[in-house]
Structure 1
Amino acid sequence: MTDKEVVLTAKGLKKIEDELEHLKTVRRKEVAERIKQAIAFGDISENSEYDEAKNEQAQVEERIMKLEGMLKKARVIDEDDINIEQVSIGTTVQVKDLEFDEIVEYTIVGSAEADPYELKISNESPVGKALLGKKVGHIVEVQIPDGTTKYEVLKIEKGNIND
């Protein structure tokens, strides 16, 4: 993992902390129990249940390490520090897709908590990068896989980033 800072909102931080706690207190025990049950089946050299449980254990431990690393490098965005004069991490921006004449609202977040299904886009994504620093009325061109698209910034507000 790189030494790159992980930018998180308060909600994103809580989500990571909750997942880490769940992995450490619940998933570890579940996987350990599966390993114990698989060993009870006998010869572990040809025991697929044992192999699957050991692989799952490795995945859980890897995820725990990744989350702990993220938390060590985390910088939490304070909602009080968000300036709604321009698009930044922690803002929700309403844009008009000029090609399709559609209005979309995105919340700009750090890459660790981006979730396109919740319209949370990373500050490192093509759209997120293009919008950063823009003000209401600005038009941005964004390179997307299908070519170029244009967005007009209609509104900027503080994103709902705290619990």
Structure 2
Amino acid sequence: MCSPELSDFETTIWQTYPQDEVLVIGITANNQNQIDNFVEENGITYPILFDPGGGGGVQGGETYDLYYLPNDGSPYPRDFIIDESGIIQYANNEIDTEWMLIILNELLGNQEIELTVPYSENWNMIGLPLSVENPDAQFLFPESVENTLFTFTEGG
């Protein structure tokens, strides 16, 4: 994991939930000296375990290979939430702490959670203008639509 993600897990999840309800574990294939230095530099207090080298995973490690998710070159590690029955309830290769909090609260029976959502006046929740003369995607984002499945020839 990278520093911001580790710090986010530390403060938002590990330090927020009782450890008998939510356990955060980092797993890495880096050597122990790298792990120890990284943990100390970033103030990480949750356990980080060593994953011994494995064969097929991009980053190596037996556990990594078992739970590998294709990431299309994403620099982020894989994040999982596993329930008390051992069933994976969340798997992602991009950090999404807000969504993880929703899943954790649902699994723990906590229904209320406070999220801060950035808001821009005259834009909706998916980032599109509320009122435009022409709502066609080719009009709004011409450079993003050309040469995709959204471009068609006349009558096609």
One fold, TM greater than 0.5? Answer: no
More relative contact order, 1 or 2 (CA 8 Å, 6+ apart) = 1
From the two aligned structures, give the one with the greater strand fraction: 1
From the two aligned structures, give the one with the greater helix fraction: 1
TM-score, length basis structure 2: 0.25
